[in-house]
Structure 1
Amino acid sequence: MTTADPNQRIERAEIEDTSLLAFYRDMNAPERRTFWACAAGWALDGMDFMIYPLVIGTIIALWKVDAASAGLAGTVTLLASAIGGWLGGHLSDHIGRVRTLQITIIWFSFFSLVCAVVQNFDQLLIARAVLGLGFGGEWAAGAVLMGEAIRPQYRGRAVGSVQSGWAVGWGLAVLSQAILFSLLPAETAWRWMFVIGALPALLVFYIRRSVTEPEIAAEARARHAETGSHPKLWEIFTFPMVKTTILASLMATGCQGGYYAVTFWVPQFLTKERHLSIVGSTGYLSTLIIGSFIGYLTGAWLADRIGRRNLFLIFSLGAMAVVLLYTQLPLTNEILWVLGFPLGFFASGYFSGIGAFLTELYPTRLRGSGQGFCYNFGRGIGALFPFLVGALSATTSLANAIAMFAVVAYALFFIAAFALPETRGRVLHAD
């Protein structure tokens, strides 16, 4: 079964060395610079996003907002990122992946600083929404950049290893929280968390000096400029790409909706329903993050070893099972601490295959637009889950609300992934 453009040449590269780090040993200097730039960008991106879920309890207490409203700030960030991702991806098809990456990093870093100085919740809501535009565009440009810069036999492992940077960023956010909330009063510490979220801006200096545009992207843009056949924003919704766009968007909705339902509210679940302090919950979140990091690396290896679709199917089922165990069984805190590892592992590891998979589904002329739209459409609809979990928690326990929305999301992820074609090893062309 295939939903890709029938005119697209499909060649597949044989995967010879199946070890996780084979891609890195075989990289040349420009490829390694691109790898580290994207990995650092994704880590800082993850740190910036995870800061808000970590300070949400403090904001609820200081500004007397309810859980649904607090979740709405997370939702509008992700909704805005859906628009930013589509526009950022389209922009990268026109002005280049590297230039778009720089613009979007500066954008969301600046608005993280704005979040640090807001004076009420309404201002924070607006700042997080505007920040989301850059947040979505950064992923679209960076993921396409990595997907095109890496050879097909290594693409799953390389892009997946970059994805593991999210767990590093999450860990940096938790570490920052533990330090700042230990040294400063809560009403000041949360603002300094957002100041730290502006650090990605420093990465732009490295990108400007060290990262070059992928050859096939530059060649495609030159060809379109010569012929006047620039890609249109809506072209991904025309035949024969529309079926791919719909299914990939549904898949992205499921995988991200489940992730956000879990990770956005777990810090509050630990403090509110398990009665842990902010600092006391750090160890539990650390186990979750370690599991997430190992999950990313394992998923990166499996994406090239067993294929993208099999990775998605296995991990979506695993995530459903562990979420139910974590939230529905009367476990002791000690067991919950151990169970954080498989929760992080299954709720994160499948992301390692997403970037490479979406890169391989689209021809080069539409890759930024297609990948940016599908992933960030999923991010936008998945953005409703933090709000809906918060709203439902007013009538049931937070644990039940998390479980309900996570299971629905992972089921959608499984079904959509099953309906899409396997793309492992697909060779990209400047078409």
Structure 2
Amino acid sequence: MSTTDQPQVFETAAIEDTSLAAFYRDMDTAERRTFWACAAGWALDGMDFMIYPLVIGTIIAIWKVDAGYAGLAGTVTLLSSAVGGWLGGYIADRIGRVRTLQFTILWFSFFSLVCAVVQNFDQLLIARAVLGLGFGGEWAAGAVLMGEAIRPQYRGRAVGSVQSGWAVGWGLAVLAQAILFSAFPAETAWRWMFVIGALPALLVFYLRRYVKEPEIAAAARQSRSGQQPSILEIFSGPILKTTVLASLAATGCQGGYYAVTFWVPRFLTTERKLSIVSSTGYLSALIIGSFAGYLVGAWLADRIGRRNLFLTFSLGAIAVVLLYTQLTLPNNALWVLGFPLGFFASGYFSGMGAFLTELYPTRLRGSGQGFCYNFGRGIGALFPFLVGALSNSTSLANAIAIFAVAAYAVFFIAAYALPETRGRVLHAEA
């Protein structure tokens, strides 16, 4: 009888010290190395993804691309990352988390360099699509690696703190934009942005030397005695309900995030009439709020639980998106609102990695977590395209609000229907 056919009885660990930094103080050397490797990987991942939204206005101007078609490159990247995440998670269940992480990082770093030398938008579209395969696989392998390497009482804070690396990467992308667009003409600066996106490849040297496979994952693969799980097993038995609801939750949280963050740079330079360089301060407020949201979300994931974190932040995100896009406010007020917008539109991600890790048995964890998160990423990938297309018939602010609010509503409903998993102990059963 397979694990998915048996009733699930879960053991939970008591969470005594709820301070944010408790997990790091109590880490051993191997856990800290894994933590920093995954944090750096996620930061560079975030930097690589956010480069395109930052240069989309330049590409539209240089190649005379329609806004909806330009948004399609972001959508295609995310759609292909959905496939890459599912496959990456499945491969991680078969050959290991660390080996899969190394391969996927090299993959999307190489294709970021390809993006830097393309000669027209169609070539860029293809390069971003292929890059997305590695982009999605990297998250799947890294999130499972972190979830299994950290003790259950600290898992929410540790995985959530790694998630904050995305805001750091976003900040690095904005900093690179300010420097490169000041030093070079726009026609070449955007290409150097994609060159910067190849930096994650350097992380592989650290992974090979210092990061080890989690014992629980190695034991699970060894106990299978050559019998590998089916890639479709997450759609069978009682696991199916978990997969459906978790996929909907991931769709809502990512659809809302991409509807906001992908188009806010364009919103500031068109409807708010800011230059690329002067918009940096507004994006900085958004990024600082995002970073704070990740850290607070990481703390709350262990303090109040994963579900309560999702419910609170989805409602907060709806409220702030409406304020940011629907009120006629001076630019100074918009700058202030950037902090809570980034805070609520990002902080719930701190609970997602740990939550998805805890929903699945070890033998299916990579497949389940990789599929659900990246299914959400794939459907959420439609939102940059849909927002761009709708902005042709209404304001960009209205388009952002419509799709973001709808996405966060789906997130709220799915999270409410899923169980709480805080402190769940993981086992090496196949």
Q: Which whole-Å CA distance do the structure 2 matches of 1:73 and 1:391 have between them?
A: 13
Q: Which whole-Å CA distance do the structure 1 matches of 2:9 and 2:412 have between them?
A: 27
Helix, strand or coil for the counterpart of 2:7? coil
RMSD of aligned C-alpha atoms? 0.7
Q: Deviations over 1:354-407 (max 9, x none)?
A: 000000000000000000000000000000000000000000000000000000
Partner of 2:42: 42
* Equivalent in 419, 422, 425 of residue 424 of structure 1: 422
Letter in 2 for 1:359: T
Q: Which whole-Å CA distance do the structure 2 matches of 1:253 and 1:142 have between them?
A: 20
Q: Deviations over 1:233-281 (max 9, x none)?
A: 0000000100000000000000000000000000000000000000000
Letter in 2 for 1:49: F
Q: Which whole-Å CA distance do the structure 2 matches of 1:81 and 1:71 have between them?
A: 16
The answer to whether the 8 A contact 1:63-1:120 is kept is yes
Helix, strand or coil for the counterpart of 1:16? coil
Alignment of 1:66-215 (within 5 A): 66-215=66-215
The answer to whether the 8 A contact 1:109-1:197 is kept is yes
Q: Which whole-Å CA distance do the structure 2 matches of 1:140 and 1:5 have between them?
A: 25
Letter in 2 for 1:135: F
Deviation at 1:230, TM superposition (A): 1.1
The answer to whether the 8 A contact 1:164-1:293 is kept is yes
Q: Which whole-Å CA distance do the structure 2 matches of 1:153 and 1:232 have between them?
A: 31
Alignment of 1:249-398 (within 5 A): 249-398=247-396
Q: Deviations over 1:166-203 (max 9, x none)?
A: 00000000000000000100000000000000000000
Task: Provide runs of 4+ in structure 1 moved above 4 Å.
Answer: none
The answer to whether the 8 A contact 1:8-1:363 is kept is no
Q: Which whole-Å CA distance do the structure 2 matches of 1:240 and 1:351 have between them?
A: 25
Letter in 2 for 1:388: L
Partner of 2:412: 414
Q: Which whole-Å CA distance do the structure 1 matches of 2:9 and 2:173 have between them?
A: 43
Letter in 1 for 2:268: L
Q: Which whole-Å CA distance do the structure 1 matches of 2:9 and 2:102 have between them?
A: 31
The answer to whether the 8 A contact 1:258-1:407 is kept is yes
Task: State TM-score, norm by structure 2.
Answer: 0.98
Q: Which whole-Å CA distance do the structure 2 matches of 1:234 and 1:198 have between them?
A: 33
Letter in 2 for 1:307: G
Q: Deviations over 1:136-173 (max 9, x none)?
A: 00000000000000000000000000000000000000
Q: Which whole-Å CA distance do the structure 2 matches of 1:148 and 1:297 have between them?
A: 20
Q: Do structure 1's residue 219 and structure 2's residue 219 form an aligned pair?
A: yes
Gaps of 5+ in 1: none
Letter in 2 for 1:101: L
Q: Which whole-Å CA distance do the structure 2 matches of 1:106 and 1:305 have between them?
A: 36
Q: Which whole-Å CA distance do the structure 1 matches of 2:229 and 2:353 have between them?
A: 21
Q: Which whole-Å CA distance do the structure 2 matches of 1:373 and 1:140 have between them?
A: 8
Q: Which whole-Å CA distance do the structure 2 matches of 1:294 and 1:152 have between them?
A: 23
Q: Which whole-Å CA distance do the structure 1 matches of 2:297 and 2:165 have between them?
A: 13
Q: Which whole-Å CA distance do the structure 2 matches of 1:194 and 1:359 have between them?
A: 32
Gaps of 5+ in 2: none
Deviation at 1:8, TM superposition (A): 3.5
Q: Which whole-Å CA distance do the structure 1 matches of 2:53 and 2:19 have between them?
A: 35
Task: State TM-score, norm by structure 1.
Answer: 0.98
Deviation at 1:7, TM superposition (A): 3.2
Helix, strand or coil for the counterpart of 2:16? coil
Q: Deviations over 1:198-232 (max 9, x none)?
A: 000000000000000000000000011x2x33111
Deviation at 1:5, TM superposition (A): 7.0
Q: Which whole-Å CA distance do the structure 1 matches of 2:8 and 2:299 have between them?
A: 27
Q: Which whole-Å CA distance do the structure 2 matches of 1:303 and 1:364 have between them?
A: 21
How many residue pairs are counted as aligned between the two chains? 426
Partner of 1:229: 227
Q: Which whole-Å CA distance do the structure 2 matches of 1:192 and 1:346 have between them?
A: 31
Single out whichever of 5-14 and 316-325 deviates more from structure 2. 5-14
Q: Which whole-Å CA distance do the structure 2 matches of 1:375 and 1:282 have between them?
A: 30
Helix, strand or coil for the counterpart of 2:17? coil
Helix, strand or coil for the counterpart of 1:18? coil
Q: Which whole-Å CA distance do the structure 2 matches of 1:200 and 1:229 have between them?
A: 34
Letter in 1 for 2:199: L
Letter in 2 for 1:423: T
